[in-house]
C-alpha cells in the first residue's frame, strides 16, 4: 500500500495580496476573464471581511431556483458498523492472460497506432476449436502487422510540455492559443495509446481457447470480449446472467447470505447480482449443477481459470457503489435560518481555516489560494470524474464552460437506465435501484462530485461555486442503476487517461480529446483492491495521471476497500466543519489526506443548516432559505461522504497544476501532502466500541483512527513552491 509521506507543513509567506485580475495560465475569452475577476474580487472581500459590493448577488436577489437547496440538520445518531459483503454481476468475469513467449521475428512494429474495435468472440460449447484451428485463424492477424514499425510510447508526464511556454502564450490571441492547446493534447493523446502487440493477440487467443474448454466442460455458452488493454470480459449465457432470475436471493442449498436490500426479484429489468460470500467450486460438483446455478457457474469458471496458471488475474466483475454516506435515520430539526449571503457563503468547506468571521475550523483554504495566489485554475488542466455521469441540463452546468465531452461506459443497458449501452452521452438519467422503495431516489452523485471540483459555472449569479473556477471536467459515466461494474470502471479509467479508445455505433474509435491530469474516483467496494483495477490505475499513473479516491464510508480500515486501498492513489478520508474526522469515514495507514466530507448531523457554526457539503444536483424536499418555505424540487443539496472529500483534493490538485504547470505529478502530490495541517489523535478518534484500536491517553473510551498526514489546507501553499 501507499507509504505515507511525512507532514512537512509549509508556512505561507507574508505580503500584500496579489492582484486578482491577472489569471495565471487562463485560456478563456475576455468575457470569461471578466467573470473570473468579479468572483475573485468577491472572494477577496469575503477573506478581508469587507462589505459586499452592490453587484454581488445575495440570496435575496437571485431567483428561487438559484438559491433553494435540499438538506437540514439531522438528529444526532450513533453510527453503527454495518458492513455488508461486496456484490458481483453474476455470469460476468474479468481476466487478463499472461503474455506468451513468441518468436522475435513475428513481433510487428507500428509506425502509427492501429487499433481495431475489440472483437467479441462467441463461445459455442458444441463446437470447440483445436489448437491447429486456433493457429490457422490467428495467422492472418499476425501476418497483416508484420511490415509495420513500432514507435516507442512516450512515458512523459501529462503537462510537462507546457512549462515556461504557458506564460509566454498568455499574450497570444485566444484562437492561436486554443489551437496550440489542441495540438499539445492531440500529441499527448497519441502518446498514451495502448498498442496491441502480437504477444497480446496470441495470448488472448490462447486464453480464449482455455475459456472455451472450461465452458465446454460444464456445458455453458457465452462470449468473450477482447480489449487493447489485455483485459478480457467473459459473459456466461446468451446475454450474461438471466435478468429474470432472483436478485441477491438465497438458493435452497446456498450458504446463508446477509439480508438483501430492497432490490429483489420483483425488478426483472435488472441484471442478476449476488453477494460475494467466498463460496468456491466444489471439486466433485456435477456439470448439471453448474448449469442450473448461475452463481455457481461463475464461481467454477473463475476457480478453473485461476488454476490453469495462464492468467495474470481472474476475478468476478464486482459492483461498485458511490460513496454518499448513508444518512442516519431520525427526525429532522426544523427552523432553517434565513441567510442573506450568496450560496457560496454556505460552502464552509471552501473557507479559510480558522475561527474568525467568514472562516471555518474545517475549511480547506480555497479562498486563500484563490486570492493570494492570483489563480483560480486553468482550462488546460483536466479532471476526469468517473462516476454516475453528469446532469447536463442542470442550470449551473448547462452554461458552464468547464465541461468537456465525456463518455458513457455502462455496458449493460439494464444497468444503464438509458435504453442503450456505451455511447458518447455521459448524461446521468438517474440511478434509482428499486422504484418501489419510497426511501430510495436518484442520487445524481456524479453531478454533486463534479460540482465540487468545478463543473458548476462560478460567478454566474446563481447557485454554488466550484473549487477550481477554471478547469476542464470530463465526465465518464461508469455507474448506473444499483452501482457499476468493475469492468466498466476499469475501461473508464483507461479512457479518461487517453490510453484506449471507446467505439461509437459505427464501430469507429472515439478517443478522449482531453486526457486527464487528474482522475477522481468517489466510488467504493468492500474488497481488497481487485487486480484488474490496480492494473488500470497503474496504467494511467505511470504516465503521469494523478488518481484521487474516496477512502470509503464503512468505518473500517481502508485496506479492505477499493479503490481507496489500492496502490498509486491519493486516498481521502472525510472531515467535518470542526476539522475532525467524521464518524462514517474509513481510516488507516492507506489514508493520505483528510478533506471536507461533511456531517449532516452537526451544525457547529450554529447557522441552522447542516454541516454537509453543498454542491450541485437535482433534489426533492427543498427549502427556500429566504422565506423558509418548502420547495418541491431544487438544484443544490447538502450531502456527506468520502465521496465529497475526494473532489476537494482533486480540485486542489487542479489549482496546483495550473499554478505550477512545470511540476510533475509526483511533485504536485508531494506539494499537496507536504502542506497539510496536522491532526491530533483526538481529532481522528472514535468510540473504541465501534473502532477497535489504540486507546487515546486521557480520552476515556476513545480510540485513534489514523487519518493520513493531516487536513487539506491550501492556505499553506506559498507562491514560490
Asked whether the predicted pLDDT for residue 472 surpasses 60, the reply is yes
Asked whether the predicted pLDDT for residue 643 surpasses 70, the reply is yes
Range of the domain at 431: 30-82+324-716
What predicted TM-score, i.e. pTM, was given to this entire model? 0.73
CA distance 478 to 491: 9
pLDDT of residue 164: 36
387 is catalytic: yes
**Highest-scoring range by mean pLDDT, 278-287, 408-417, 654-663:** 654-663
| CA distances (Å), origin 115, targets 188, 206, 229, 509 | 17, 20, 11, 8
pLDDT of residue 269: 59
Going by pLDDT thresholds of 50, 70 and 90, the confidence category of residue 155 is: very low
DSSP 8-state code for residue 196: P
445 is catalytic: yes
The total domain count for the chain is 1
> Which residue in the list 322, 445, 448, 648 is annotated as catalytic?
445
pLDDT of residue 105: 37
User: Looking at the domain assignment, is residue 298 inside a domain?
Assistant: no
pLDDT digits (tens, 9 = 90+) for 559-588: 999 999 999 999 999 999 999 999 999 999
**Highest-scoring range by mean pLDDT, 64-78, 187-201, 462-476, 648-662:** 648-662
pLDDT of residue 527: 92
> Which residue in the list 27, 41, 387, 488 is annotated as catalytic?
387
Q: What is the mean pLDDT of the chain?
A: 75
Going by pLDDT thresholds of 50, 70 and 90, the confidence category of residue 693 is: confident
pLDDT of residue 611: 93
> Which residue in the list 575, 643, 650, 685 is annotated as catalytic?
643
Q: Which residue has the higher pLDDT, 272 or 153?
A: 272
Out of 149-163, 288-302, 686-700, pick the least confident: 149-163
Looking from the CA of 85 toward its CB, the CA atoms found within 13 Å total 15
CATH of the domain at 522: 3.40.50.200
Chain-centre distance of CA 112, in angstroms? 31
pLDDT of residue 117: 41
Q: What is the mean pLDDT of residues 200-219?
A: 78
User: Looking at the domain assignment, is residue 167 inside a domain?
Assistant: no
643 is catalytic: yes
Going by pLDDT thresholds of 50, 70 and 90, the confidence category of residue 357 is: confident
CA distance 593 to 645: 9
pLDDT of residue 136: 52
User: Looking at the domain assignment, is residue 353 inside a domain?
Assistant: yes
User: Looking at the domain assignment, is residue 347 inside a domain?
Assistant: yes
Q: Which residue has the higher pLDDT, 8 or 633?
A: 633
pLDDT of residue 66: 67
User: Looking at the domain assignment, is residue 278 inside a domain?
Assistant: no
pLDDT of residue 55: 53
pLDDT of residue 235: 83
Going by pLDDT thresholds of 50, 70 and 90, the confidence category of residue 82 is: low
User: Looking at the domain assignment, is residue 666 inside a domain?
Assistant: yes
User: Looking at the domain assignment, is residue 598 inside a domain?
Assistant: yes
Residues 6+ apart with CB under 8 A from 3: none
Asked whether the predicted pLDDT for residue 329 surpasses 90, the reply is no
E-strand ranges in 597-704 read 613-623, 630-639, 685-687, 702-704
Q: Which residue has the higher pLDDT, 504 or 264?
A: 504
User: Looking at the domain assignment, is residue 653 inside a domain?
Assistant: yes
Amino acid at each position: 500500500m501507499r507509504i505515507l509521506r511525512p507532514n512537512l507543513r509549509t508556512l505561507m509567506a507574508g505580503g500584500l495580496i496579489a492582484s486578482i485580475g491577472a489569471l495565471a495560465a487562463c485560456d478563456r475569452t475576455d468575457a470569461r476573464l471578466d467573470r473570473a475577476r468579479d468572483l475573485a474580487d468577491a472572494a477577496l472581500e469575503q477573506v478581508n471581511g469587507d462589505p459586499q459590493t452592490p453587484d454581488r448577488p445575495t440570496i435575496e436577489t437571485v431567483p428561487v431556483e438559484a438559491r433553494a437547496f435540499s438538506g437540514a440538520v439531522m438528529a444526532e445518531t450513533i453510527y453503527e458498523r454495518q458492513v455488508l459483503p461486496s456484490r458481483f454481476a453474476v455470469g460476468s468475469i474479468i481476466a487478463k492472460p499472461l503474455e506468451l513467449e513468441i518468436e522475435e521475428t513475428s513481433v510487428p512494429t507500428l509506425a502509427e497506432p492501429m487499433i481495431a474495435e475489440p472483437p467479441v468472440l462467441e463461445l459455442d460449447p458444441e463446437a470447440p476449436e483445436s489448437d491447429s484451428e486456433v493457429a490457422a485463424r490467428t495467422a492472418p492477424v499476425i501476418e497483416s502487422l508484420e511490415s509495420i514499425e513500432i514507435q516507442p510510447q512516450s512515458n512523459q508526464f501529462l503537462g510537462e510540455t507546457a512549462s515556461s511556454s504557458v506564460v509566454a502564450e498568455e499574450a497570444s490571441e485566444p484562437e492561436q492559443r486554443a489551437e496550440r492547446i489542441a495540438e499539445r493534447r492531440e500529441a499527448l493523446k497519441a502518446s498514451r495509446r495502448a498498442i496491441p502487440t502480437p504477444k497480446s493477440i496470441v495470448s488472448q487467443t490462447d486464453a480464449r481457447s482455455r475459456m472455451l474448454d472450461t465452458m465446454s466442460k460444464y456445458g455453458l455458452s457465452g462470449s468473450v470480449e477482447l480489449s487493447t488493454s489485455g483485459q478480457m470480459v467473459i459473459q456466461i449465457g446468451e446475454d450474461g446472467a438471466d435478468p429474470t432470475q432472483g436478485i441477491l436471493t438465497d438458493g435452497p442449498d446456498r450458504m446463508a447470505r446477509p439480508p438483501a436490500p430492497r432490490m429483489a426479484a420483483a425488478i426483472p429489468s435488472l441484471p442478476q447480482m449476488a453477494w460475494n460470500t467466498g463460496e468456491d467450486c466444489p471439486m466433485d460438483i456435477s456439470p448439471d449443477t453448474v448449469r442450473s446455478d448461475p452463481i455457481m457457474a461463475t464461481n467454477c469458471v473463475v476457480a478453473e481459470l485461476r488454476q490453469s496458471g495462464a492468467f495474470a488475474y481472474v476475478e468476478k466483475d464486482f459492483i461498485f457503489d458511490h460513496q454518499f454516506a448513508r444518512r442516519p435515520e431520525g427526525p429532522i430539526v426544523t427552523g432553517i435560518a434565513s441567510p442573506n449571503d450568496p450560496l457560496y457563503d454556505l460552502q464552509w468547506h471552501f473557507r479559510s481555516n480558522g475561527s474568525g468571521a467568514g472562516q471555518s475550523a474545517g475549511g480547506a483554504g480555497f479562498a486563500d489560494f484563490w486570492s493570494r495566489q492570483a489563480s483560480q485554475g486553468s482550462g488546460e488542466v483536466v479532471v476526469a470524474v468517473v462516476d454516475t455521469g453528469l446532469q447536463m441540463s442542470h442550470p449551473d452546468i448547462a452554461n458552464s464552460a468547464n465541461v468537456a465531452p465525456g463518455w458513457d461506459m455502462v455496458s449493460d443497458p439494464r444497468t444503464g437506465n438509458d435504453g442503450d449501452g456505451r455511447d458518447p452521452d455521459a448524461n446521468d438519467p438517474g440511478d434509482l435501484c428499486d422504484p418501489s422503495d419510497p426511501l430510495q431516489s436518484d442520487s445524481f452523485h456524479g453531478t454533486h462530485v463534479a460540482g465540487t471540483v468545478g463543473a458548476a459555472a462560478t460567478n454566474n449569479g446563481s447557485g454554488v461555486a466550484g473549487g477550481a473556477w477554471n478547469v476542464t471536467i470530463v465526465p465518464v459515466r461508469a455507474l448506473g442503476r444499483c452501482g457499476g461494474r468493475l469492468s466498466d470502471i476499469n475501461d473508464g479509467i483507461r479512457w479518461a487517461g487517453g490510453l484506449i479508445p471507446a467505439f461509437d455505433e459505427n464501430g469507429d474509435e472515439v478517443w478522449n480529446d482531453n486526457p486527464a491530469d487528474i482522475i477522481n474516483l468517489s466510488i467504493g467496494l468492500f474488497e481488497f483492491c481487485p487486480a484488474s483495477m490496480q492494473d488500470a490505475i497503474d496504467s494511467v499513473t505511470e504516465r503521469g495521471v494523478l488518481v484521487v479516491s474516496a477512502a470509503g464510508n464503512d468505518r473500517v480500515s481502508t485496506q479492505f476497500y477499493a479503490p481507496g486501498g489500492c496502490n498509486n492513489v491519493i486516498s481521502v478520508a472525510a472531515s467535518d466543519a470542526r476539522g475532525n474526522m467524521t464518524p462514517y469515514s474509513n481510516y488507516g495507514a492507506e489514508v493520505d489526506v483528510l478533506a471536507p466530507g461533511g456531517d449532516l448531523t452537526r451544525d457547529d457554526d450554529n447557522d441552522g443548516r447542516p454541516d454537509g457539503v453543498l454542491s450541485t444536483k437535482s433534489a426533492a424536499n427543498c427549502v427556500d432559505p429566504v422565506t423558509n418555505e418548502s420547495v418541491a424540487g431544487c438544484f443544490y443539496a447538502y450531502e456527506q461522504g468520502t465521496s465529497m472529500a475526494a473532489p476537494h483534493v482533486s480540485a486542489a490538485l487542479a489549482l496546483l497544476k495550473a499554478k505550477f504547470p512545470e511540476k510533475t505529478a509526483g511533485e504536485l502530490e508531494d506539494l499537496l501532502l507536504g502542506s497539510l495541517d496536522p491532526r491530533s489523535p483526538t481529532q481522528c478518534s472514535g468510540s473504541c466500541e465501534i473502532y477497535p484500536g489504540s486507546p487515546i491517553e486521557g480520552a476515556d473510551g476513545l480510540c485513534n483512527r489514523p487519518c493520513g498526514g493531516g487536513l487539506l489546507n491550501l492556505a499553506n501553499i506559498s507562491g514560490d513552491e
